[in-house]
């Protein structure tokens, strides 16, 4: 079986930048790479023929194939230190909450090395019982276990002590219960096992054991790791010398101020630097470390009371880190080839096409004009934030609801199958971790199956239908990205008369929304070409490009919900969830907001009386049809999949015109959850008149305007019949008027626009 996959280090580039490509080739000695410009998706016989444009480059050619592994699983690491090496007697203590205690051996913390069988550590055995493990090499290791499995999602104080001179070992496994009733009982075990010397300069790890060096990709230090833990660890401590039970309680601050007779080696406080990737040791040796593969932070610890739900207000109650065996933030692959963007490359959507045998894999990227320059009055803004959070959406294939929603069997191709052949590619924020918790972090630094011009018409693939339309009009457009918008703000948009969104710009940071709002206030024009946009609040990682956080807080259509008290982003401390719950409903920006979704069929729009209003009649020049978009490559219509409607309560401007409104949606289109206060049975499109998509127009001060389609499927109708259709004509009329220098008149009193 031949397979190839890859990724690049950056999506957003300008002339003078270099894009590095990382490739893994399986089952073939070599592969071909070619840089192309993407002008349309592969959308079948009813669409524009799929013809990527070759780009002349020295990069194009054949390369030796090699397989690169994916170092999946999160942990934390502290580099080996002399104060750990000299330990002949020690006490290890922490609070832990396992979430899959019976999945097999799982590391808690220590400097144990699986490969050399040296060091010490606390772990869970195959049944989920606490184990203390010691060793000085193969044939010397000893263990002591409680023999009592822990329960999932329960906090325990765990401790282990050993003394190499006396040969005595002891462990404690004690449930922590702040509220409710607990059937678990405290367990203590002790034994004299002839403890071996554990002196070692192994690094100390949390939630995984080192397993020797690796010649392939490594998430940290050239090492590979094993026995990854699913669950939370809070307040780990190490003391030189073997404490008794009373001393352990004193060390953890449970019986008053600590006055430990033995020397404190380390006391990590995970509530410090929650937004970063460091773990801080408040002990005398300052054994600071780093987290690997972004385990989840800003989660409540063993002492969370439920009285405060914002970690920034009580960080001491959020001193836990939630580790997962399927976290991945960076594949850490070695670069195979690099492409330098020159001024000869026009702004657009590009990709490296990788071919091994008959297997083809695409690695897209976006070329923008030089910073501060514009080569057109029109900009298409690629929804890189939304693309990122959807990467490797495995739930679409695994959910039993998918085929019910769509009314048909789910279709997969060879690239989709990579998700199951190589699960270490990781998950999307639409998935759940192996322990059932929602995936809060998304990264583009890994191979992905659903960011390509082929396959399902969704997000990036569907956005290429908009690129196809712009190419049909002559190709006078620039491509910019949401990544750049987050970093550069309104200055990125300022040179353009009109900015065109993708079909589904669902995820936005505060900086992105502020930039759009400022652009419109100064007279910019925005064409919102999709549905369910500007919906979820996100946070960008403070130091890593291409890493995004989503907290699916109360309300919204969501694949999972965050636990109570964990609604604030770890990266920024901002409250997550829907923008409408942050007083920034999409209606305030683009006039419409999410009202319903359905995936069995798409419908059409019917022109309204407002279409004849002199303020909007120009949009329909050359269009006599009453029905708009009763055709398209997406279930037969322009209105569907996810749709938006006006709502004055949420901020639709009072002067907004709904020039066309969809109708005839199926009963799979139900009103979104955030609109339902009391379930009453009248929620589907057949009996609920509120469920429809609105094509909406309104002017903004200083000559600007907004035009919104309110439908993800809209882009799929642009190219129908070779662009000779009313959807393309309507959209083109709007684009030409928005791109013109002439201001769009403010409809109110003259002073209203001041």
The predicted-structure confidence for 527-538, as pLDDT tens digits, reads as follows 999 999 999 999
Mean pLDDT of 30-37: 98
Q: How far apart are CA 479 and CA 654, in angstroms?
A: 32
| Structure tokens belonging to residue 222 | 């050239």
Q: How far apart are CA 137 and CA 153, in angstroms?
A: 34
Task: Say if residue 212's pLDDT is above 50.
Answer: yes
Phi, psi of 714 (to 5 degrees): -55, -45
Task: Say if residue 407's pLDDT is above 80.
Answer: no
Q: Collapsing DSSP states into helix, strand and coil, what is residue 408?
A: coil
Total Cβ atoms within 10 A of residue 154: 18
Mean pLDDT of 565-569: 97
246 exposed, middle or buried (CB, 10 Å; 0-12, 13-18, 19+)? exposed
- The DSSP bridge partners found for residue 688 are none
Band (192; pLDDT cuts 50, 70, 90): confident
Q: How far apart are CA 16 and CA 38, in angstroms?
A: 20
Band (593; pLDDT cuts 50, 70, 90): very high
Q: How far apart are CA 585 and CA 515, in angstroms?
A: 15
Q: Is residue 680 part of a domain?
A: no
> Pick the residue with more confidence: 187 or 428?
428
DSSP 340-353: E--TTSPSEEEEEE
Nearest to 332 by CA among 2, 4, 3, 7: 7
Residues 153 and 221 in one domain: yes
Residues 180 and 56 in one domain: no
Q: 622 CB contacts (<8 Å, ≥6 apart)?
A: 729, 733
| Structure tokens belonging to residue 631 | 């055709």
Residues 161 and 263 in one domain: yes
Q: Domain with 288 in it: what CATH number? A: 2.60.120.200
Q: Alpha carbon 552 to chain centroid distance?
A: 11
Contact between 640 and 652 under an 8 Å Cβ cutoff? The reply is no
pLDDT at residue 753, as a whole number: 42
Pick the last residue of a domain from 294, 323, 352.
323
Residues 176 and 314 in one domain: yes
pLDDT at residue 408, as a whole number: 73
Nearest to 124 by CA among 138, 110, 140, 141: 110
DSSP 242-278: ---HHHHHHHTTSSSS---SSPEEEEEETTTTTTSSE
Q: Collapsing DSSP states into helix, strand and coil, what is residue 420?
A: helix
Q: Is residue 304 part of a domain?
A: yes
Residues 15 and 100 in one domain: no
Q: Is residue 124 part of a domain?
A: yes
Residues 213 and 343 in one domain: no
Q: How far apart are CA 690 and CA 710, in angstroms?
A: 13
- In the block, tokens 């008290």 appear at 565
Nearest to 444 by CA among 406, 523, 383, 388: 388
**Beta-sheet pairing, 289-292 with 296-299:** unpaired
Q: How far apart are CA 582 and CA 561, in angstroms?
A: 17
Q: Is residue 89 part of a domain?
A: yes
Tell me: the pLDDT tens digits for 350-398? 999 999 999 999 999 999 999 989 999 999 999 999 999 999 999 888 8
Residues 319 and 349 in one domain: no
DSSP 572-585: T--B-SBGGGGT--
Q: Is residue 683 part of a domain?
A: no
Q: Is residue 62 part of a domain?
A: yes
Task: Say if residue 247's pLDDT is above 60.
Answer: yes
Pick the last residue of a domain from 323, 355, 382.
323
pLDDT at residue 682, as a whole number: 61
Give the length of the chain. Answer: 754
Q: Is residue 629 part of a domain?
A: no
Task: Say if residue 283's pLDDT is above 50.
Answer: yes
pLDDT at residue 139, as a whole number: 85
Q: How far apart are CA 283 and CA 251, in angstroms?
A: 12
- The DSSP bridge partners found for residue 191 are 169
Nearest to 21 by CA among 248, 250, 341: 341
Q: Collapsing DSSP states into helix, strand and coil, what is residue 37?
A: strand
Q: How far apart are CA 580 and CA 705, in angstroms?
A: 22
Range of the domain at 256: 75-323
Band (754; pLDDT cuts 50, 70, 90): very low
Residues 221 and 344 in one domain: no
Per the prediction, the chain carries an average pLDDT of 94
Question: In what helix (H) or strand (E) does residue 32 lie, and over which residues does it extend?
Answer: strand 30-38
Task: Say if residue 751's pLDDT is above 60.
Answer: no
Total-model pTM: 0.95
Structural domain count of the chain:
2
Residues 100 and 133 in one domain: yes
Band (752; pLDDT cuts 50, 70, 90): very low
Tell me: the pLDDT tens digits for 454-479? 999 999 999 999 999 999 999 999 99
| Percent of the residues in the chain that have a pLDDT greater than 90, as a whole number | 84
Mean pLDDT of 125-146: 93
> Pick the residue with more confidence: 238 or 686?
238
Total Cβ atoms within 10 A of residue 556: 18
**Beta-sheet pairing, 231-240 with 264-269:** antiparallel
DSSP 699-751: EEGGGEEEEE--BGGGGGGTTGGGG-SHHHHHHHHHHHHHHSSSPPPPSS-GG
Task: Say if residue 242's pLDDT is above 60.
Answer: yes
Task: Say if residue 421's pLDDT is above 80.
Answer: yes
Phi, psi of 491 (to 5 degrees): -60, -30
Q: Is residue 58 part of a domain?
A: yes
Contact between 513 and 501 under an 8 Å Cβ cutoff? The reply is no
Band (103; pLDDT cuts 50, 70, 90): very high
| Percent of the residues in the chain that have a pLDDT greater than 70, as a whole number | 97
Residues 62 and 89 in one domain: no
Residues 51 and 87 in one domain: no
Residues 260 and 315 in one domain: yes
């Amino acid at each position: 079986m031949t397979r190839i996959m890859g990724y690049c280090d950056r999506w957003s580039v300008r002339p003078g930048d270099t894009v590095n490509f990382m490739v893994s080739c399986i089952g073939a000695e070599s592969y071909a790479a070619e840089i192309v410009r993407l002008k349309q998706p592969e959308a079948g016989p009813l669409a524009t023929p799929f013809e990527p444009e070759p780009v002349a480059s020295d990069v194009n050619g054949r390369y030796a194939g090699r397989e690169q592994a994916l170092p999946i699983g999160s942990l934390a690491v502290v580099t080996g230190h002399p104060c750990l090496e000299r330990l002949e007697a020690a006490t290890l203590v922490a609070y832990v909450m396992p979430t899959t205690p019976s999945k097999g051996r799982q590391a808690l913390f220590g400097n144990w090395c699986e490969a050399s069988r040296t060091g010490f550590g606390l772990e869970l055995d195959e049944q989920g019982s606490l184990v203390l493990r010691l060793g000085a090499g193969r044939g010397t290791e000893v263990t002591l276990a409680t023999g009592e499995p822990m329960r999932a999602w329960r906090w325990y104080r765990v401790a282990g002590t050993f003394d190499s001179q006396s040969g005595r070992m002891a462990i404690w496994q004690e449930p922590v219960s702040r509220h409710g009733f607990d059937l678990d009982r405290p367990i203590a075990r002790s034994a004299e096992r002839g403890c071996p010397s554990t002196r070692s300069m192994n690094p100390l790890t949390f939630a995984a054991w080192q397993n020797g060096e690796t010649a392939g990709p490594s998430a940290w230090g050239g090492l590979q790791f094993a026995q990854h833990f699913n669950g939370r660890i809070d307040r780990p401590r190490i003391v030189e010398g073997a404490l008794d039970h009373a001393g352990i309680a004193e060390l953890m601050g449970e019986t008053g101020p600590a006055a430990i007779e033995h020397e404190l080696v380390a006391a990590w406080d995970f509530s410090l630097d929650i937004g970063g990737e460091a773990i801080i040791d408040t002990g005398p040796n300052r054994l600071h470390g780093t987290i690997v593969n972004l385990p989840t932070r800003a989660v409540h610890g063993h002492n969370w009371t439920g009285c405060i739900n914002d970690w920034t207000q009580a960080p001491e109650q959020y001193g836990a880190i939630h580790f997962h065996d399927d976290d991945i933030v960076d594949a850490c692959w070695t670069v195979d080839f690099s492409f330098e963007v020159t001024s000869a490359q026009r702004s657009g959507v590009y990709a490296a096409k990788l071919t091994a045998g008959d297997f083809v894999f695409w690695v897209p990227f976006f070329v923008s004009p030089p910073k501060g320059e514009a080569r057109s009055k029109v900009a298409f803004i690629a929804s890189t934030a939304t693309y990122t959070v959807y990467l490797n959406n495995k739930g679409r294939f695994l959910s039993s609801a998918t085929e019910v929603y769509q009314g048909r069997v789910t279709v997969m191709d060879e690239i989709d199958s990579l998700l199951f052949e190589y699960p270490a590619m990781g998950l999307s924020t639409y998935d759940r971790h192996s322990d059932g918790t929602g995936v809060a972090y998304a990264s583009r630094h890994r191979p992905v199956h659903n960011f390509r011009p082929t396959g399902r018409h969704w997000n990036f693939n569907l956005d290429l239908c908009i690129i196809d339309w712009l190419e049909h009009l002559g190709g006078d457009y620039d491509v910019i990205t949401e990544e750049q918008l987050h970093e550069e703000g309104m200055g990125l948009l300022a040179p353009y008369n009109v900015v065109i969104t993708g079909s589904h710009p669902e995820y936005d940071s505060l900086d992105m929304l502020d930039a759009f709002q400022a652009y419109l206030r100064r007279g910019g024009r925005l064409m919102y070409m999709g549905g369910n946009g500007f919906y979820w609040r996100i946070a960008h990682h403070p130091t890593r490009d291409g890493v995004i956080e989503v907290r699916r807080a109360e309300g919204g259509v969501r694949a999972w919900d965050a636990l109570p008290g964990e609604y604030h982003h770890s990266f920024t401390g901002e409250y997550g969830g829907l923008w409408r719950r942050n007083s920034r409903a999409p209606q305030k920006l683009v006039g419409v907001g999410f009202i319903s979704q359905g995936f069995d069929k798409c419908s059409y729009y019917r022109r309204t009386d407002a279409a004849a209003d002199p303020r909007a009649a120009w949009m329909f020049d050359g269009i006599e049809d009453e029905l708009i978009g009763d055709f398209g490559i997406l279930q037969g219509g322009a209105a569907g999949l996810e749709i938006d409607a006006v709502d004055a309560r949420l901020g639709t401007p009072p002067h907004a015109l709904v020039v066309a409104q969809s109708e005839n949606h199926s009963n799979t289109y139900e009103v979104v959850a955030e609109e339902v206060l009391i379930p009453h049975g009248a929620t589907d499109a057949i009996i609920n008149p509120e469920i429809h998509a609105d094509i909406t127009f309104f002017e903004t001060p200083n000559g600007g305007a907004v035009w919104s389609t309110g439908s993800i499927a809209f882009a799929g109708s642009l190219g129908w019949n070779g662009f000779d259709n009313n959807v393309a004509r309507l959209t083109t009329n709007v684009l030409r008027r928005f791109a013109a220098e002439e201001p769009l008149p403010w409809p109110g009193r003259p002073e209203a626009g001041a």
